[in-house]
């Protein structure tokens, strides 16, 4: 079995994954949403302090598996460096104390592996990764060969939901709340412009800061917001935010075939986005792969699943060599 640890942002999570059949034997996650909500976003220093309390608590519950462990795995990149250090330090201590090899896992590869929890991997695979930190379109030949087709030039898709939520006075993280408000709203009431059209339409990239500004100006123009107006803003924003993703995805695959398409990351829980991706995949005769809702946002189960692949390749790292890195551009070619 492999014990995996995730602490790249504000979720403390530990999982135990069985090597022979990839079965998830134990998985626990403690989120810090409530603690960060009052600041309108994640405060790295606070997140690190909370990990230092919650990770040992979760570890206590996983102790019965210690005698059967073959390796310790931990997210070491990308993420908030001060929070990554919490998980990495714990992993190093366990590796030394239990005399077990250590695996450093890339968080983005972990999100890709959220599609394969308790299942076999499936490659090649095209992936849309939409989270609080990333908006990326990837062609994944395998976990060691990942081509970046498009990324965001500024805010990420999930981040734009959080920022619009903050402007509307909604709690952090706002993604799921905006989605639920949008269900009750008129998506055509506010005619926000889809980003990166016109002169930059040839560009294969995403951008959300301009849309966020359009929403800010709209909110300011409305003055006092009644419940229905909030719902209409959420619905209109979500429609345009997703339309932007879809426009660029369609562009990317205009002359490119795709058989298997996956969507991962916290924002992949969005059902409106999933619906649009279903329609796109149907038009390309491709199959859409989604993670179970509980594995969309950050979790150690996906890190454990990724670690099974790393273990089988023998990709171990010496305790002194495992470094924390806030970005990881070099996983792409």
Distance (Å) of CA 105 to CA 76, 98, 144, 274, 311: 6, 19, 12, 27, 11
Q: Which does 1 bind (CB under 5 to 8 A by kind): Zn ion, ligand KG4, none?
A: none
The DSSP output letter for 171 is P
d(C-alpha 265, C-alpha 131), whole Å: 5
Residues 111-170 binding Zn ion (CB under 5 A) are: 131
Residues 6+ apart with CB under 8 A from 259: 124, 286, 287
Pick the closer one to Zn ion by CB: 131 or 136: 131
Of 86-94, 136-144, 199-207, 259-267, the segment contacting ligand KG4 by CB under 6 A is: 259-267
With contact defined as beta carbons under 8 Å apart, do 127 and 261 qualify? yes
Find out whether 175 is annotated in a ligand binding site. yes
Report the C-alpha dihedral over residues 6, 17, 106, 79, rounded to 10 degrees: -10
Find out whether 179 is annotated in a ligand binding site. yes
Q: What are phi and psi for residue 282, nearest 5 degrees?
A: -60, -40
Find out whether 138 is annotated in a ligand binding site. no
Question: Which stretches of the chain are DSSP H helices?
Answer: 33-37, 44-61, 81-98, 107-113, 157-167, 175-183, 209-222, 227-252, 271-283, 300-313
With CB under 6 A as the contact rule, the residue among 270, 301, 303, 307 that binds ligand KG4 is: 270
CB of 134 to Zn ion, least distance (A): 7
Site string for ligand KG4, 284-303 (x = CB under 6 A): -------------xx-----
Pick the closer one to Zn ion by CB: 86 or 298: 298
Residue by residue, DSSP assigns 125-161 as: EEEEEESSS-EEEEEEEETTEEEEEEEBSSS-HHHHH
Site string for ligand KG4, 196-235 (x = CB under 6 A): ----------------------------------------
Pick the closer one to ligand KG4 by CB: 18 or 276: 276
With CB under 5 A as the contact rule, the residue among 178, 298, 299, 305 that binds Zn ion is: 298
CB of 256 to ligand KG4, least distance (A): 26
- Using CB under 6 A, count the residues that bind ligand KG4: 20
CB of 189 to ligand KG4, least distance (A): 19
Site string for ligand KG4, 138-177 (x = CB under 6 A): --------------------xx-xx----------xxxx-
Question: Which residues contribute to the site for Zn ion (CB under 5 A)?
Answer: 131, 298
Question: Which residues contribute to the site for ligand KG4 (CB under 6 A)?
Answer: 9, 131-133, 158-159, 161-162, 173-176, 179, 265-267, 269-270, 297-298
């Amino acid at each position: 079995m492999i014990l995996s640890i995730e602490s790249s942002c504000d979720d403390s999570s530990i999982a135990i994954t069985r090597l022979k059949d990839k079965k998830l034997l134990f998985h626990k996650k403690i989120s810090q949403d409530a603690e960060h909500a009052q600041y309108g976003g994640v405060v790295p220093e606070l997140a690190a302090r909370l990990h230092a309390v919650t990770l040992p608590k979760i570890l206590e519950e996983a102790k019965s598996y210690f005698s059967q462990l073959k390796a310790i795995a931990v997210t070491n990149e990308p993420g908030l460096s001060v929070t990554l250090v919490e998980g990495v330090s714990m992993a190093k201590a366990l590796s030394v104390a239990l005399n077990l090899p250590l695996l450093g896992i890339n968080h983005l590869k972990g999100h890709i592996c959220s599609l394969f929890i308790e299942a076999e991997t499936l490659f090649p695979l095209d992936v849309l990764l939409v989270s609080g930190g990333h908006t990326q379109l990837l062609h994944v030949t395998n976990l060691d060969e990942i081509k970046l087709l498009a990324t965001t030039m500024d805010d990420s898709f999930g981040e734009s939901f959080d920022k619009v939520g903050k402007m509307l006075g909604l709690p952090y993280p706002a993604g799921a709340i905006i989605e639920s408000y949008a269900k009750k709203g008129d998506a055509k009431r506010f005619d926000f412009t889809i980003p990166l059209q016109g002169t930059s339409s040839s560009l294969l990239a995403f951008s959300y800061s301009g849309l966020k500004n359009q929403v800010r100006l709209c909110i300011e123009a409305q003055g006092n917001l009644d419940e229905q107006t909030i719902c209409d803003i959420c619905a209109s924003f979500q429609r345009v935010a997703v339309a932007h993703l879809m426009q660029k995805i369609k562009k990317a695959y205009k002359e490119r075939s795709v058989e298997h398409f996956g969507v991962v990351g916290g924002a992949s829980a969005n059902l409106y986005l999933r619906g649009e991706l279903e329609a796109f995949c149907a038009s390309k005769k491709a199959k859409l792969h989604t993670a179970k809702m509980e594995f969309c946002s950050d979790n150690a189960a996906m890190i454990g699943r990724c670690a099974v692949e790393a273990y089988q390749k023998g990709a171990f790292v010496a305790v002194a060599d495992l470094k924390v890195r806030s970005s990881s551009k070099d996983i792409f070619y």
